Amino acid sequence: MPMPDTILEDVFNAINLGLIIVDAQYNVLFWNDWIFKHTHIKQVEAKGHKLGGVFSEPLPPTFLNALKNTLEYGLPTIISNALHRSPLPLYDFSSQTNEKVRINQSITMSPLLPQRGGRHCIIQVTDSTTSIKREKMLLSHSEILRRDAVTDSLTGIFNRRFFDEHYKIAFHNAIRQRQCLSILMVDIDYFKNYNDYYGHLSGDNTLRAVAQALKSQLFRASDVIARYGGEEFVLILPDLSAGQAEKVAEKLKNSVFNLAIPHKNSPLFNQVTISIGLSVGMPKVEYDILGRADAALYLAKQQGRNRCVALPLLDEEQK
């Protein structure tokens, strides 16, 4: 026994999505309460009228083309909310402000073949606002996790994990493009003495200040600074000559000296200073340039600290 039309209409009005049925001439045959809720247009006002003329705003070509394909060719169509967020002028009138808030929509069109002939189309509309907000939240959360995975939590610059991965990329790029690569190893002078005298909280503040001072001297997107461990930092500067890299190192040293952070337990200048080891060249073995920068840093400390020492790669030194 077929279900009475009145019961079907009650069912269609009860479901939490919009339903519009149009005939082959685009005339509205049915318009449920969900659509009324989001348009304030009653079914009696829409029924028998062309769908495009019911709304106060013109319908977008994407929607009209999809409707045409469904009616003429019997092809079901989904209008992706990733590409078309709000095809129909539907609004959330429950907003606490007086402004009409257009809702995001997912729309599915399906062909109908009623017994009395002629193709009809049922248009299903769901409010995708919540799912889009959830997707944005997940993407934002994912971005935060990704950023946290490569950022040093204390200083806010890149961490050792990021450096290890990026160094390999920079190394292979230097070989492929036949460009020089510069590695700078930076160490805060007598930092253990600083922590012993001022305490670890002051030490953390100094690490942050030094990290930001070093970072402020980098102006190219390709330049990278990372915390290497403890009070050590490392920088990757691609495509610089030895002279250019040494000028950058001097600017880095001066930027920290100009902070004028007191260090009464330092044998040098009674303020925080740094030592820098630099190596520049076209590397052939993955970690040779990093090892030379580390050796240069050791020499900088031996020679009195608060200075930069540069060492070429071994094969270039022997030429």
Query: Which SS3 state, helix, strand or coil, does residue 134 take?
Result: helix
SS3 310: strand
Q: Closest by alpha carbon to 313, among 299, 89, 72, 287?
A: 287
The whole-angstrom separation of Cα 27 and Cα 42 is 15
Q: Count of CB atoms within 10 A of residue 260's CB?
A: 11
3-state percent breakdown (helix, strand, coil) of the chain, nearest 5? 45, 20, 35
Instruction: Please give the backbone phi and psi of residue 275, each rounded to the nearest 5 degrees, phi first.
Output: -115, 145
Looking at this protein, which amino acid is placed at residue 247?
Answer: K
What's at 246, amino acid-wise?
A: E
Distances (CA, A) of 180 to 168, 172, 250, 317: 14, 11, 19, 15
How far apart (Å, rounded) are the C-alpha atoms in residues 268 and 190? 9
* Cβ partners under 8 Å of residue 10, min gap 6: none
CA distance 151 to 148: 5
Query: Is 231 designated active site?
Result: yes
E-assigned strands of the chain? 18-22, 28-31, 77-79, 91-92, 101-102, 105-112, 120-127, 181-188, 224-229, 232-238, 274-281, 308-310
> Which positions ≥6 away from 230 have C-beta within 8 Å?
191
List 135, 231, 246, 317, catalytic entry: 231
Concatenated DSSP letters of 213-251: HHHTT--STT-EEEEEETTEEEEEEES--HHHHHHHHHH
Catalytic residues: 231
